[in-house]
Amino acid sequence: MRTKRLLLTMFVSLLLFPSLLFSAGTKEPTHITTGDEIIELSVYHFLDQTDKTTAPNFAFLVEEFEKKNPNIKLKFEYGYGESFHDKLQTLAVSGQLPDIVLLYPGKRTSQVTDAGLVQDLRPWIKGHEKEFADMAMQGQGENGEIWELPEDISITAIMYTNNRLLKELGLTLPKTLDELLAQGPVIRENGLIPISMANKDAWPMQSCLAGVLVERTGGMEWFDKAIAGNGAGFDDPEFVAAMEIIKQLSDKHMFSPGTNQLAYGQGLDDFVNERAVYLIDGGWTVNNMIGELTDEQKTYMSLESFPDVPNQKGKSLSTSATAGQGFGMNAKLNKAQSEAAWKWIWFYSGPEGSAIRQKFGRLPAYNLAEPADADPMIKKLIAYAAKVPMGYVLDSVLGAEPIGAFNINLQRLMFGTMTPKQVAEDLEMMVDKIDRGNR
């Protein structure tokens, strides 16, 4: 009997042993205290810790926050690229969503926001709405909820121009697509790249060019209708026309040779080393340009819009833009924790953090006066943002799967294995099936 009991006890202990091992690795409980005691919050942030510009800037921001809020201790975890999203999904599914988490205003993190895992920030923002750019205060949820307080306005389509090279080649800034195409042979004959773009990752062509072209060929009214599937669709001639322009630019060798083999970053590299006359990229690139360009280069590099296209229905000089990502907070936080979390969110995206980020080359969503001591490239970015009309970035208004397929189809379009019409029809089919849920 005693042997049996002993064996049973040992067996149960062994059974429990693996679970004890697993439970030993679970998240530490958040330190919840009030009064003068420290409130500890976990934060999950999108950051490339090897980035020589962004990482130190962020560290500086955190340092400033901690100096001002000694009773709030933030414990950061970082992710970057796809691994950020993989981990976010895993944390969310396993019920271990951090207290503060970086989110996107569009569909990119909708798996977290749609599941009700984060708080609606509108009650916290109340009274401050006018301090932000209109775009940043647009609803992010079905009922107008704001899940994250956007840190920046992200302009995704800027035609950076090297005016020194243009002058040397006897060219001027093109006003129309035809003028731009006519410059191609002249630029190439001089061993230069007309438009530097690196599309190996497939998203730059969509994010930095396709959106703005769709606005030009269709106009914003048509764009809104197409997104909603209300009297317009992505297989309309307006969208096909935008695809035809990309095909034309590719066929006429306007992009970097082997653009679909070039890793993102190579585009900027070719531009700052003056191997390319134009660079089509997002406003975030200014952040890197500050450090990469010399003072002299900064005097002749300008920020321009893509030229007018034939039968244009949209606005001249338009670009594509979206409210950027920002921090949101876990729906499970209690009052004291929520207040502490909001202090960080407000510090980061509000006046203080925005002023710091602006200094480092970002375009904050919070309305700030232009700093007198700003880098010339930041001044150019601010001036550009103030003068151009803004349309949609496709990946901020369409779901991940249709956009994923569309990005790849743009590469196929350039390789000649799909026609502009096929690309348009495929996108419409996917948007209708997945985003609008019609099929």
Partner 1 sequence: MTFKQQKMASYWLLIAPGLILFAAVIVFPVFYSFSLSFTKWSGYGKSLFVGLENYRNIFSDPVFLHGLRNNMLIVAISVFGQIPLGFLLAYMLHRKMVRGGEFYQTMIFLPITISPVVVALLWNQIFSSSGIVTALIRNFSGNSQYVMKIFEDKSQAIIPILFVLLWMHTGTYMIIYLANLQKINPSVLEAAQIDGATEGQMFFRIILPSMVGTITTTAIFAIAGSLKAFDLIYAMTGGGPAHFTEVIAIYMYTNTFKYYKYGFGSAVSIIIVLLSVGLILILQSASKKIEKKYE
Binding residues vs partner 1 (CB under 8 A): 3-4, 7, 10-11, 14-15, 17-18, 82, 85-86, 89, 92-93, 111, 115, 188, 191-192, 200-202, 253, 256-263, 266, 269, 400-401, 404, 408, 411-412, 415, 417
Q: Cα angle vertex 328, ends 326, 331, to 5°?
A: 170
Nearer to partner 1, 201 or 224 (CB): 201
Nearer to partner 1, 4 or 335 (CB): 4
CB of 198 to partner 1, least distance (A): 8
CA distance 142 to 258: 41
Nearer to partner 1, 256 or 358 (CB): 256
CB of 265 to partner 1, least distance (A): 10
Query: What are residue 326's DSSP bridge partners?
Result: 103, 150
CB of 409 to partner 1, least distance (A): 8
390 touches 135 (CB < 8 A): yes
CB of 414 to partner 1, least distance (A): 9
290 touches 377 (CB < 8 A): yes
CA distance 64 to 148: 21
CB of 97 to partner 1, least distance (A): 12
Conformation bin of residue 116: beta by default, left when phi > 0, alpha when psi is -120 to 50: left
CA distance 221 to 219: 6
CA distance 306 to 157: 8
Phi first, then psi, for residue 363 (nearest 5°) are -115, 90
345 touches 122 (CB < 8 A): no
Phi first, then psi, for residue 146 (nearest 5°) are -115, 110
Q: Cα angle vertex 23, ends 21, 26, to 5°?
A: 125
Phi first, then psi, for residue 322 (nearest 5°) are -150, 155
217 touches 238 (CB < 8 A): yes
Handedness of CA 306, 263, 276, 164 (dihedral sign): positive
CB of 190 to partner 1, least distance (A): 9
CB of 191 to partner 1, least distance (A): 4
Instruction: Provide the 10 A C-beta neighbour count for residue 49.
Output: 13
CB of 134 to partner 1, least distance (A): 31
Q: Is 157 helix (H, G, I), strand (E, B) or coil?
A: coil
Nearer to partner 1, 145 or 269 (CB): 269
Nearer to partner 1, 266 or 396 (CB): 266
195 touches 306 (CB < 8 A): no
Nearer to partner 1, 215 or 426 (CB): 426
CB of 74 to partner 1, least distance (A): 27
Strand 390-391 and strand 301-304: the pairing is unpaired
Nearer to partner 1, 59 or 93 (CB): 93
Nearer to partner 1, 90 or 138 (CB): 90
Nearer to partner 1, 22 or 28 (CB): 22
